[in-house]
Structure 1
């Protein structure tokens, strides 16, 4: 029987909590610096959120697999989960672009919510394995046809994304774990990181010139724009922070998780495991930052130095939590974080949906500045939160914390009812 590692659940919960806070300020113009991504090169606590989650994906693959086995059923399960996660990520981009499709008698929001419900049931339901596989493949094909079939409404839907990258990394590291030894996995990680460094710094960029690491003109940006024109991050339109080429080193982040999970399953004493985790974490931070002077730490490019630096922090945090919770037994304080850690996909998928549903409610605009009504969420922030604070940054942070509290209520109900949604 699989047992949960509480320290890992706490780390996952901390990651989801920080993700929720940094993704949902009241005002993007008033955010404390640690809660923003680095402008380009460099790293803030916010930049560590996504790599920490990918690291946890790798650890979880190991801990969720009591013994290595390989057959058609195992491969089908991995492919199904990969497609489910990928489709959930894609659908967040599809939601606002869904049209009526002959259902003009219904409100547009109702149509979108109805289709969302169908997608959720199809991807989250725990029915027959073959049916899960067929449903995931069918939904994936439909989305690809809509995105690339010449449909006007979906011609600019974003294809890369956070959940999409998670799905690809999960797929690769799952196959690596089941089919290779830890030594092969470590060698693969080194090869990926060194190879990505060589690709990004030595290969000229077609149509631009010498290899560079500048925003929008590097090789990764060129490849994104070549293969996925019109389907990239809306803020740039010509490159994507979760793009194709930068997924290569992201696999290295997942492999770091695999190696950590293997360590945790070995017969070392708990104190030895803590020592190895802390040593590996500090080493990763130091080596990553030293490499920064040659290949800058950069989350958007997911540089090899960033993999080591961010992975080092993930190892260090897990080592500290493992010592406090699993070695010393101080676990009475963990429930709040575990509540967020056991249902991460619910937060990933529905976080954006909540705003879209709430903003379908229109309220009178007290300012009446040429607009009689306004969306509920900005109204609530502008007229209920902002007046309570002198410092606009505190108002923005308070809003993010209030949204976090809303998610705690939702996840607490699921936790009490022992509902864990896996894809």
Structure 2
């Protein structure tokens, strides 16, 4: 199975690092470049480094679901060792005692991600219950991964596919047909969607955007489907002897095209919307997630070109740690300005923000390299 590092598929860590790079500092580099050199390509790239206001999609909207998709791809590999030690070939054959151990570890992992999400949201500032936001990116990853894992452990492939269809179609039907007080049914606006209404009623604390939360409770249900799509890809990749490399690549690309096509067609009736995590959004981004993976898988695991991706490997190997640090727990900009600020002041004023952003990335990569060389990884 391709190249691995410490039992990890290298292309997965690199893809994880690729999407996390834009969150930790890459977006600031692009925005600064667009201001310093406003040529069409940089202006377009800068426009892709923002979330859409509501319906529609940008590259930045894809980052979170691609990360969750990658977590799904890793799932069959993470459970493989437990199946091997139990002497079984499929998760459904695991004895109940072994499954209980796995469930406990899954609950623990999800609980830790929920807690870390609370911390990123400022839980330790003790602003009071009403001002604390409990929904989070890490929490959604934990919950979606957990329920996708339950499906993986208890159902065969056909039933897993059925679960995917039920989640996507069921979510669509609820948002289109379930009436919301004062709005009615099928109103897919920030104030009028059933997902927003559900979170207003049942999500404790503060909502991210007052009337809705992009990582809310109800919209986490279709996020399970995103994790399932990744899980299907991971299951397919583990079929080492069933297909040649060329056939694997063709099947993955064809699957991506089908998913993107479904997403585009569904968009006409159920708009692509990251904040509602609509079913059309799941399909479209699921297709692009496969294409992103195919690129890194082909270049790194099939063709063996790996050295260029080492910075992305550093990020992907400690992605949750650098995400938390970049979300406000560590002031990388202060450190970068302390080290490089004097030199940057000699540059033309218009280019100073570009090199400031680059110096932040450099400081982050130095930290990640230090952790990587000592094999210190935040494993959850």
Instruction: Mark yes or no: TM-score above 0.5.
Output: yes
Give the TM-score of the pair, scaled to structure 1. 0.75
CA distance in 2, matches of 1:194, 1:297: 14
> What whole-Å deviation, never above 9, does each CA across 1:113-165 have from its counterpart, x for those lacking one?
xxxxxxxxxxxxxxxxxxxxxxxxxxxxxxxxxxxxxxx73331001110010
Q: Deviations over 1:351-372 (max 9, x none)?
A: 234456988xxxxxxxxxxxxx
Q: Is the 8 A contact 2:164 2:228 kept in 1?
A: yes
User: Are the aligned partners of 2:134 and 2:205 in contact in 1 as well (CA < 8 Å)?
Assistant: no
- The equivalent of 1:254 in structure 2 is 227
Which residue of 2 is the match for residue 170 of structure 1? Answer: 145
Q: Please state if 1:410 is matched with 2:354.
A: no
**Structure 1's 319 and 356: CA in aligned 2 closer, same or farther, altered over 3 A?**
closer
User: d(CA) in 2 for partners of 1:27 and 1:276?
Assistant: 36
Change (3 A) 1:74 1:33: same
Q: Return 5+ residue gaps in structure 1 as ranges.
A: 99-151, 360-375
Shift of 1:319: 1.2
Would you say how many aligned residue pairs link Structure 1 and Structure 2?
350
Partner of 1:124: none
Partner Cα separation in structure 2 for residue 14 and residue 249 of structure 1: 24
2:120–2:329 contact (8 Å) kept in structure 1: no
Structure 2 residue 292 is matched with structure 1 residue 288: no
Q: What does 1:15-414 correspond to in 2, within 5 Å?
A: 15-21=19-25, 32-66=46-80, 67=83, 68=91, 69=94, 70-95=98-123, 97-98=125-126, 153-228=128-203, 230-233=205-208, 236-266=209-239, 267=241, 268-355=243-330, 398-414=355-371
Is the 8 Å Cα contact of residues 56 and 273 (structure 2) preserved in structure 1?
Answer: yes
CA contact 1:196–1:304 (8 Å) conserved in 2: yes
Offset from partner CA, 1:380-416 (integer Å, 9 cap, x none): 999997995665xx76665444332221111111111
Partner-residue secondary structure (3-state), 2:179 = coil
RMSD over equivalenced CA pairs, Å:
3.0
Distance 1:209 1:389, change over 3 A: farther
Looking at structure 2, the residues matched to 395 and 292 of structure 1 have their Cα atoms a distance apart, in angstroms, of 42
Distance 1:87 1:295, change over 3 A: same
C-alpha spacing 1:379/1:96, structure 2 compared with 1 (3 Å): farther
**Partner of residue 39, structure 2:** none
Q: Which has the higher helix share?
A: 2
Query: TM-score, length-normalised on structure 2?
Result: 0.83
Instruction: Answer whether contact 1:232 1:239 (CA < 8 A) is retained.
Output: yes
- Contact 2:176–2:186 (CA<8 Å) still a contact in 1? yes
